[in-house]
């Protein structure tokens, strides 16, 4: 099972990208765009801006 996630924990932006067997995670274009948007949302939150 792959895990791709990002979040802001109040003091840092956390990112995890983990393959089931330690392999690199292959992501399609839509998955990359979703991760970028999630990271941008975390950055806005860290900067105190509304999502």
27: in domain: yes
9: in domain: yes
36: in domain: yes
The pTM (predicted TM-score) of the whole model is 0.79
Residue 20: its pLDDT value, please?
A: 86
Domain with 41, as residue range(s), is 3-46
51: in domain: no
Question: Distances from the Cα of 40 to the Cαs of 7, 36, 47, in angstroms?
Answer: 10, 6, 11
Number of domains in the chain: 1
pLDDT at 44 over 70: yes
pLDDT at 49 over 90: no
How does pLDDT run across 2-38, given as a tens digit for each residue?
Answer: 899 999 999 999 999 999 888 889 999 999 999 999 9
């Amino acid at each position: 099972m792959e895990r791709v996630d990002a979040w802001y924990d109040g003091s840092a932006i956390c990112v995890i990208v983990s393959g089931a067997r330690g392999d690199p995670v292959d992501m399609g274009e839509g998955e990359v765009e979703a991760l970028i948007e999630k990271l941008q949302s975390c950055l806005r939150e860290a900067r105190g801006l509304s999502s």
